Structure 1
Amino acid sequence: MLNFPDIKDRVRSFFEEVGKLSRFAGRFFREGFRRPFEWNEFLKQCYNVGNRSLTLVILTGFIIGMVFTIQSRPTLIEFGAESWLPSMVGLTIVREVGPVLIALICAGRVGSGIGAELGSMRVTEQIDAMEVSGTNPFKFLVVTRIFACVFMLPLLVLIGDAFALYGSYLVENIKGDVSYQLFFNNVFGNLAFGDLMPATIKSFFFGFAIGLVGCYKGYHCTKGTVGVGVAANTAVVVSSLLVFIIDFMAVIVADIFYEL
């Protein structure tokens, strides 16, 4: 059972961690837009984040679309609203399901990888060696990885959404004999620019949160090789939590915007 001093220490540790993460983010904004820019490392990290996550994103999106359609179809048939299935699936995937689930996948795949990679470099003193040699390890290691996550995650979300819709179409084609043209006419006929834009914007914030937390945990890794595993694990947990928080805030902002 926790006593009051333990709770007090945990609350203080939580706010200290939030403060350190905020300073880390502030350093990123200070150094991220100053020359020189590490373009080669940035492109390399874009490949690591995007291409190496592509297969997992495609498979996940495809299965999400199929499962969501299979689960929703009997209920809509019961209420006589089967014709609304393509538009409902399209709106749900584009607005909410696609961005959040793809971001969670990237938090597990990318966030843990960045945390483990930078943590290994920290405990083996490679980062210290870069500082001694006169280079800026923060700009080379951290800035490039965060920018890669920011730019690649929206692209992964768009690809995942596309394959999710295609998986939904296959189910409808097999079970309901719905043609390709009819299905996607219903999907895009009910999608508006206001549906796609908020989902794309919050994907940038998802990518920033995943890259920031992964880099922070790895860059400040301690306790030797054990700390590398801790950094990778906590990077996944914290970045996943931030994805839900950002999504909640984005929904509130979008709701206020629609009311105006």
Structure 2
Amino acid sequence: MKKIYSFKSSKSILSNFREKFNEFLIKIADVVAFLQIIFKNTFSKNFEGQEFLKQCYVIGNKSAGLISITGIIIGLVLTIQSRPPLVDFGAVAMLPGMVAVSLIREMGPVITALICAGKIGSSMGAELGSMRVTEQIDAMEVSNANPIKYLVVPRVLAATVMIPLLTLYADVIGIFGSWLGVNIKDDVSLTLFINQAFASVEFIDIIPAVIKSFFFGGVIGIVGCYKGYNAERGTESVGVAANSAVVTASLLVIIVDLVAVQITDLL
């Protein structure tokens, strides 16, 4: 009996694995088809410029406040935590440059993308999910309108454009927060601090960070729109779509950052 039970258990585990794997492949194919439709409608005629500008304003307006607070706190914490070791080695003058390079190369883009994944990704997932549940998207399809062109493409492009701008804004706010942190113990003018900070920043530090921010924005916009657009029926599916959009977008941001760091090191 034990052998039969063991054989049946292993067989059921194998079948479950095959089923999950097939579902994964189907999901990948569905995502690729969704990306193809987005790409096709992005370069088609009659681009929804007004909706694109509206989504840019919404993304910036929703995220600017939280990014401002987060940027100042990151700059403060990074400065306060890094100052004591530099004091021990007599290298306090390197603090502005170290903070600036850390913010511009890594912390600014990643923290901004994760914040936007929570704010923007969940918003897109919930908004499009509610439209799917209330059959507004179905009504657009029946009336021969193109919901991908009007609802998805402007949101994806707005996220792709706005997140690099928000990243640059977060870098500036973070450096200002670092200046505040330095002035807790010392008395340094803002002009001197900025000159010391950007003396250590090179061209190669800025360009890769900005480029990967575009990919962060594209990932967040695509994931948020995909989860909301393909939400299932039922009111609880709106929450599921929003939550899944945040988790998936955050994970993909970390993966994209890992790949970008490896490419940057090779260059």
Is 1:25–2:35 an aligned residue pair?
yes
For 2:206, the equivalent position in structure 1 comes to 196
Instruction: Note the 1:194-233 alignment, pairs <5 A.
Output: 194-233=204-243
Q: Residue 53 of structure 1: CA displacement?
A: 1.1
Task: Tell me how far apart the structure 2 counterparts of residues 224 and 91 of structure 1 sit (CA, whole Å).
Answer: 47
Task: Tell me how far apart the structure 2 counterparts of residues 186 and 18 of structure 1 sit (CA, whole Å).
Answer: 48
Q: Residue 226 of structure 1: CA displacement?
A: 1.1
Q: Residue 159 of structure 1: CA displacement?
A: 0.6
Task: Tell me how far apart the structure 1 counterparts of residues 250 and 18 of structure 2 sit (CA, whole Å).
Answer: 25
For 2:3, the equivalent position in structure 1 comes to none
Q: Residue 114 of structure 1: CA displacement?
A: 0.2
For 1:158, the equivalent position in structure 2 comes to 168
Structure 1 stretches of 5 or more lacking a match?
none
Task: Tell me how far apart the structure 2 counterparts of residues 208 and 135 of structure 1 sit (CA, whole Å).
Answer: 24
Aligned residues: 257
Normalising by the residue count of structure 2, what TM-score does the alignment of the two structures yield?
A: 0.93
Task: Tell me how far apart the structure 1 counterparts of residues 161 and 250 of structure 2 sit (CA, whole Å).
Answer: 18
Partner letter of residue 38 of structure 2?
F
Task: Tell me how far apart the structure 1 counterparts of residues 17 and 96 of structure 2 sit (CA, whole Å).
Answer: 50
Is 1:65–2:85 an aligned residue pair?
no
Q: 1:198 is paired with a residue of what secondary structure?
A: helix
Worse overlay, 91-100 or 32-41:
32-41
Q: Residue 5 of structure 1: CA displacement?
A: 3.0
Instruction: Note the 1:36-51 alignment, pairs <5 A.
Output: 36-51=46-61
Deviations 1:125-161 (A, max 9, x none): 0001111112111100000100000110011011111
Is 1:129–2:139 an aligned residue pair?
yes
Partner letter of residue 82 of structure 2?
S
What percent of counterpart residues are identical? 53
Partner letter of residue 105 of structure 2?
R
Partner letter of residue 229 of structure 2?
Y
Q: Residue 71 of structure 1: CA displacement?
A: 1.1
For 1:115, the equivalent position in structure 2 comes to 125
For 1:11, the equivalent position in structure 2 comes to 21
Task: Tell me how far apart the structure 2 counterparts of residues 26 and 60 of structure 1 sit (CA, whole Å).
Answer: 35
Task: Tell me how far apart the structure 2 counterparts of residues 80 and 62 of structure 1 sit (CA, whole Å).
Answer: 26
Q: Residue 12 of structure 1: CA displacement?
A: 2.8
For 1:98, the equivalent position in structure 2 comes to 108
Structure exhibiting the larger radius of gyration computed from Cα positions: 2
Normalising by the residue count of structure 1, what TM-score does the alignment of the two structures yield?
A: 0.95
Contact 2:161/2:214, CA 8 A, preserved across alignment? yes
Q: 1:135 is paired with a residue of what secondary structure?
A: coil
Task: Tell me how far apart the structure 2 counterparts of residues 55 and 184 of structure 1 sit (CA, whole Å).
Answer: 23
Task: Tell me how far apart the structure 2 counterparts of residues 32 and 17 of structure 1 sit (CA, whole Å).
Answer: 22
Deviations 1:85-140 (A, max 9, x none): 11000000000000000000000000000000000000100001111112111100
Q: 1:224 is paired with a residue of what secondary structure?
A: coil
Task: Tell me how far apart the structure 2 counterparts of residues 7 and 89 of structure 1 sit (CA, whole Å).
Answer: 47
Partner letter of residue 131 of structure 1?
E
Contact 2:62/2:119, CA 8 A, preserved across alignment? no
Deviations 1:193-222 (A, max 9, x none): 111010001000000000000000000000
Partner letter of residue 201 of structure 1?
I
For 2:180, the equivalent position in structure 1 comes to 170
For 1:142, the equivalent position in structure 2 comes to 152
**Pairwise CA RMSD:** 1.4
For 2:196, the equivalent position in structure 1 comes to 186
